[in-house]
Amino acid sequence: MTENVNFQAVKENFENADLDGKIRIYTTTQGLTVDQFKELLRMFPIQHLDKLERAMA
C-alpha cells in the first residue's frame, strides 16, 4: 500500500524549511519515488550533508 503524496506541497515545504525542517521532511516523508527523493536532495545544502547522513543512520 503506497501513500498518495502531494510531491509539489512536500517540495515547497522542503524549500521553505530551515535545516532541521529539511532533515525532518527528508527522513519522515513516506511514499516518494527515488527520483522525488533525489530532487529534494538536490535542494539540500551540500555543506550539511553529514548532518542528514547522521539523521538517517
Question: What are the domain boundaries of the chain?
Answer: 7-56
Determine the distance from the C-alpha atom of residue 7 to the mean position of all C-alpha atoms in its chain, rounded to a whole number: 10
Q: Whole-angstrom distance between the N-terminal and C-terminal Cα of the chain? A: 25
| DSSP result, the chain | ------HHHHHHHHHHS-HHHHHHHHHH--S--HHHHHHHHHTS-GGGHHHHHHHH-
pLDDT at residue 17, as a whole number: 98
Q: 0.75 exceeded by the pTM?
A: yes
Cα(43)–Cα(14) distance, rounded to whole angstroms?
8
Model confidence at 1, pLDDT cuts 50, 70, 90, reads very low
Q: What is the pLDDT of residues 17-56, one digit of tens each?
A: 999 999 999 999 999 999 999 999 999 999 999 999 999 9
